[in-house]
Structure 1
Amino acid sequence: MNKWSLSASAFLVTVACSTAALAAVHHFDVIGESYGHTSEEAIDNALRVADEKCYLSWGRSDQDYTVLAQWVDQATGYPAARVSLGCSVED
């Protein structure tokens, strides 16, 4: 190989590696709220809602979540829950 093609190859490899190194990962929490027949089902449904919100924003959800609130809806009598789920999005 001549010097020019070697230099061009080295430049392209450097550019490819630097763009991968500059890719940013943004982390934020997504809130989900839902109801169910039991409090566990309400939490599971709220997690499903939060996971879908994360997915729709091109993110990947974490395994860790926080139950923010649990209550019984007075109008329906069903347990309800609000959860916070971590979500990571790569640029």
Structure 2
Amino acid sequence: MKITILFFATLRDKFGKEKTVKLNRNSTRLIEVISKVDGLKEEIVEGGSIKKMYKILVNGINVEFLDKLDTLVRDGDEICIFPPAGGG
């Protein structure tokens, strides 16, 4: 299966605009996909939870309203990761 991860704002500088993760399964947990991108888990996960400043969407739905890092993802799904936004 192929999952696309899109990065926004400052995360683009670190990881690029997008990454495609390929796995030999029909579905897997979000944390397993995140772990396949070098440095991403360390950036956005702390103590087994998503750091509060980051927002992660799977197919447009905030994973906080799903199963967080245990959210199931399937072939063709799109993950969007947003870092904290500055303003003023």
TM-score (norm 2): 0.30
Higher-Rg structure is: 1
Structure with the greater relative contact order (CA < 8 A, sep ≥ 6): 1 or 2? 2
TM-score (norm 1): 0.29
